Amino acid sequence: FLSLVLLLPLYLFMFSRSTARKFSVEMSFPLFLDPYVAVIAYEINATADGPSIYVILFAQLFVYCGIFFCFESRSLRRAIVRTVYHNRQRDEHNERNAEPEVVDDVEMQPLSKPAIPEDEVGVEARPEGAKNIVLEARNLKKRYGRTGEYAVKGTTMAVEQNECFGLLGHNGAGKTTTFKMLTGQCFADAGEANVSGTDGTKPAHIGYCPQDDALINQLTGKEHLVILAALHGYADPFKVAKSLIECVGMEKHCGKVFKNLSGGQKRKLSVCASILAMSRLIVLDEPTTGIDPMVRNDIWSLLRSIRDHTSTAIVLTSHSMTEVEALCSRVAIMRRGLIITHGSPQTLVSNHGDYYKLEFRAPSSDPDGMETVLRTLVEDMLRSATFDRRIMSRFVFKISRTPSDPMEYSRAFEAALAISGEAGAADFTLCQSNLEDTFLALGEEDRSERKE
């Protein structure tokens, strides 16, 4: 739209001057070659009309250079976006605070945006005794649309170097919006974020793998990595690109253009592109979605090596609890725009999911008849156990562990073995709850609160 507004007058001017050139014809004196032949010569002259085409080309060149500078200037783009954003916020604020118009015989109620409940407060996800903080966010808030609904209601967290921090939450919890604020893709309504001492509203050196692949469709995988390695200042971009391609198992597909790659192959290149930045902070939004397990383990090894042998901090979000447990030394769980708990994976399991999972598999002959028998035996022999769910021919129970009844694993195993033999189960499994169980349990609490 900006280029159209700026170039339209120039185009109209050029169109008005683009008519055919005019010529003048003048008759010169006749030349007599001999008494019988007379030749009349005419002189044709081009009439000077309007500015030279070179003047127009130079003017167009300067206009295009100015437009290119405006679009490529990051600070100018941010200033324009910030100005428009603050003007919109001011208009919305005035609209909220305006007194409602009262009309006779009609009951009017003022419209206002929902405020954050005073009792809905998140926790601060900060490591104890942190010294070398790479990322720090304080009370980040973000809302969308005219309804003013908050996507993030006040996130506070800190990540130190040599740490992999996992941000978990169900869809719509506010993870991606938080990442967009941390990486400067959108502005926070309130709060602030700092990356290595740099304000989050200013350009920062961050390696970022977004949820949606953002590479160029017309370039091959190898071309992407070579160009990015050269831009980041590596001495031998081709060698670096080759090493990453071998690490993620893309040797056979690195010559294909990006748009012809599968979803998993695109994710591999996006992860490699974020790693090439070698900045103090790498942000990964669901990095291994769609990647086969073997290559996923290779990427995990690469990320662990970067975490342990450089001064880089890694922040990631994932729906794979196995990935989080393999990489993250500290985890925070978001719910409805707030961080509700944080700590190491084992700490979260101990605080929110301290129980055993007991699972029996019924014989294929009579799975329905065994459910009643199993419930009766479990209630008699494991009084702290409760029935959780049935999955096909499998029956899952939870054995709670409390300070008054810690329930040692050996005692639970002996009881499970006796129940399995008496009920005639095909087999059984007894294990401690994991991070995924904790995550699901907190999600169930959220659903229960919403129903109430």
17-45 per-residue burial string, b: 16 or more CB within 10 A, e: under 16: eeeeeeeeeeeeeeeeeeeeeeeeeeeee
Residues 390 and 362 in one domain: yes
Give a yes or no: residue 256 inside a domain: yes
Rounded distance between C-alpha atoms, residue 226 and residue 449, angstroms: 51
Give a yes or no: residue 291 inside a domain: yes
Domains identified in the chain, total number = 3
| Final residue belonging to a domain, choices 294, 321, 349 | 349
Give a yes or no: residue 114 inside a domain: no
Rounded distance between C-alpha atoms, residue 389 and residue 357, angstroms: 11
Q: Check residue 65 and give its pLDDT.
A: 76
Residues 366 and 281 in one domain: no
Q: Of 337, 363, 358, give the one whose Cα is nearest residue 415.
A: 358
Residues 318 and 405 in one domain: no
Give a yes or no: residue 87 inside a domain: no
pLDDT per position as a tens digit, 166-191: 998 888 888 888 888 888 788 888 88
- Give residue 25's domain range: 2-72
Residues 345 and 412 in one domain: no
Residues 233 and 297 in one domain: yes
Residue with structure tokens 């001011």?
Answer: 90
- CA atoms within a 13 Å half-sphere pointing along the CA-CB vector of 406: 5
Q: Check residue 85 and give its pLDDT.
A: 60
Q: Check residue 238 and give its pLDDT.
A: 92
Is the pLDDT at 108 greater than 60? The verdict is no
Q: Check residue 147 and give its pLDDT.
A: 63
| 155-to-126, 127, 139, 399 alpha-carbon distances in Å | 11, 15, 5, 34
Q: What is the pTM of this model?
A: 0.67
